[in-house]
Amino acid sequence: MEIEKHIEADIQQRLLEAEIEHNVKVIYACESGSRAWGFASPDSDYDVRFIYAHTAEWYMSFDIERRRDVIEYPIVDDIDIGGWDIRKALHLFTRTNGALLEWLASPIVYREEGPFSATLREIAPDAHNDLALRYHYSHMARSNAGDHLSKKKVKLKKYFYILRPLLAIRYIQAGLGLPPVRFQSLVDAVAPEDIKGTIEDLIQLKTVTPELGVGDAIPLLNEFIFSELEKHQGTLTGHGRPDIQDKASIIDSLNNVFRQTVGEAFKK
């Protein structure tokens, strides 16, 4: 889905205003959420996420650990925009943060400057932890499922927010690497043949309907979802998230990209 030119211009202006207000440099900005996933409704929000860097002097502060590392704004005109400081992003990268990995792979990019995003995309296939990523997607699926599917009437958009992480887990378990951001790519790669048609019908309905609303539960999809959740029970639940802090070469690469990015961010 292409972003309309006047919307993109508004987003670029807001990124510029964030840079001025906070004295930072936006080094990467992308679309996340349903527009990046490929099943947005006509009236879906624009979920803009960005990574930013402060000046080098800002990081040479004794109280840096207490300084705010996020920038957030209220939703205005359907644009939801917010970002993370580069140090926060790099730390979360070592924890195989699923949201960050999806930002880096987003098909809709608004800003990309310096070595940060390219470097992380290059090392992500070797740096990420499969178990941590499956844990992330399992938690997402369970959180969205809740008790919604046990009712006769279901918020139909919930199916997308449950199916997508479940298919991402299947993608990882199939040894295919990091899951693609586009929902359709996941469906094509790992969805069982008997549910593909039903999913396709839902996608078509969602992309032309402002709000799917509530509809009858879909037994075929419910059966697949409950089966997948049961498979994960006891293996992808609980606490703890493996990280990559013991991989010295990766940590060195992240330190290098941090220093290079901060050093170059304000040269222009």
Alpha-carbon gap, residue 203 to 246, rounded angstroms: 42
According to the model, what pLDDT value does residue 191 have? 98
Q: Which two tokens stand for residue 195?
A: 């549910």
Alpha-carbon gap, residue 49 to 217, rounded angstroms: 33
Beta bridge partners of 214: 155
pLDDT in tens, 132-180: 899 999 999 999 988 778 788 888 888 999 999 999 999 999 999 999 9
Q: Where are the domains of the chain?
A: 5-128+243-265, 130-232
Beta bridge partners of 70: 84
Alpha-carbon gap, residue 90 to 254, rounded angstroms: 7
CATH pick for 5-128+243-265 out of 3.30.460.10, 3.30.70.20, 3.40.50.150, 3.40.50.720: 3.30.460.10
Alpha-carbon gap, residue 124 to 252, rounded angstroms: 14
Alpha-carbon gap, residue 235 to 21, rounded angstroms: 45
Q: For residue 170, count other CB atoms closer than 10 A to its CB.
A: 20
The mean pLDDT of 192-207, rounded to a whole number, is 92
Q: For residue 204, count other CB atoms closer than 10 A to its CB.
A: 11
Task: Provide the whole-model pTM.
Answer: 0.92
Is 236's pLDDT higher than 80? no
According to the model, what pLDDT value does residue 268 have? 64
Q: For residue 230, count other CB atoms closer than 10 A to its CB.
A: 9
Pairing of strands 70-72, 153-155: unpaired
Alpha-carbon gap, residue 25 to 183, rounded angstroms: 31
Is 16's pLDDT higher than 60? yes
Q: Which two tokens stand for residue 130?
A: 């499969």
Alpha-carbon gap, residue 9 to 268, rounded angstroms: 21
